[in-house]
Amino acid sequence: MNRIDDRFARLRALGRKGFVVYIGGGDPDLEATRQLAIAFDRAGVDVLEIGVPFSDPLADGLVNQLAAQRGLESGTTPPKILETIRAIRREAQIPLVLYVYFNLLHRCGVAQFIRDAAAAGVDGLLVLDLPPEESDNYEALMREAGLAVIYLVAPTTPEDRIALIVKRATGFIYYVSREGVTGMQAKVSDTIGTMTAKIRAHSALPIAVGFGISTPEQAAEVARNAEAVVVGSAIVNQIARLGRAPDMVAQVTAFTKSLMAGVNR
49 in catalytic set: yes
Which candidate in 5, 46, 49, 227 is catalytic?
A: 49
DSSP-assigned letter for residue 132: G
CB atoms under 10 Å from CB of 215, counted, come to 18
- Smallest CA-to-CA distance from 46 within 208, 239, 236, 196 is with 208
Integer Cα distance of 87 and 85 in angstroms = 5
| Residues 9-25: b if buried by 16+ CB within 10 A, e if exposed | eebeeeeebbbbbbbbb
134 in catalytic set: no
Q: Name the region of 160 (left: φ>0; alpha: ψ -120 to 50; beta: rest).
A: alpha
Residue 228's SS3 state is: strand
Segments in 44-109 forming alpha helices (H): 62-73, 78-89, 102-108
Please report, for residues 26, 102, 113, 204, the alpha-carbon distance to residue 68 in angstroms, rounded to integers and kept in the order given: 8, 15, 19, 33
Count of alpha carbons within 13 angstroms of residue 67, beta-carbon side: 32
Which candidate in 27, 60, 116, 227 is catalytic?
A: 60
Answer whether the bond into residue 57 is a cis peptide, omega within 30°.
Answer: no
Residues acting as catalytic residues = 49, 60
